[in-house]
Amino acid sequence: MAHAPVFEGEVDDAGQLRVFDLDRFKRYLLNSLKGGRVRIVVSREKKVRSLEQNGYYHAVVVDLLAEKIGYTHDEMHDALKLKFLLKENFGKPPTLGSTKELSTVEFEELMARIREWAVTELDGFLIPLPNEVEVTE
């Protein structure tokens, strides 16, 4: 399976596309696609989980649950991925999703599901919300 590079840009109010790294884009067209038919796919940029969300997840959610259950940090992270990010692949072996692939909204939805699971399955164990705890480095 071939992988095409991703180019970022923005569309102005007149509907004109401005490619951010135009030189790189032109080099790719000239060196890799010259003379051939192409398919153009344009989509809105997906805002991936923030550094703050990632910090909260690892320092609060994973660490508190690891301490409660008796796992290491990495074991707890893996267990959460197995529980909440397992992808069924219609007859193929299942795969694990990654928190890195989630948008900011998807990531917060995952955190809400984990907090709900902790309350219902771990005898009322409460994980503080992001605004209820300060994450320090």
Domain that holds residue 14: 1-45
Q: What is the pTM of this model?
A: 0.66
Q: Is residue 70 part of a domain?
A: yes
| Residue 95 included in any domain | yes
| Residue 68 and residue 118 in one domain | yes
Q: Give a yes or no: residue 5 inside a domain.
A: yes
Contact (CB, 8 A) for 86 and 94: yes
Kindly state whether residue 13 falls inside one of the protein's structural domains: yes
Asked whether residue 26 is domain-assigned, the answer is yes
pLDDT at 2: 61
Count of the separate structural domains present in the chain: 2
CB atoms within 10 A of CB 57: 21
Distance CA 59, CA 45 (A): 28
Per-residue pLDDT tens, the chain, 137 aa: give them: 567 788 888 899 999 999 888 998 888 888 888 888 888 888 777 677 778 888 999 999 999 999 999 999 999 999 999 999 999 888 899 999 888 888 888 999 999 999 999 999 999 999 999 888 877 65
51 three-class SS? helix
Same domain, 60 and 123: yes
Specify the amino acid at residue 103.
S
Domain membership of residue 59 (yes or no) is yes
| Residue at 137 is within a domain | no
Give the residue ranges of DSSP H helices in the chain. Answer: 22-28, 51-56, 63-69, 73-84, 104-121
What pLDDT shows up at residue 137? 59
Encoded amino acid at 51, one letter:
L
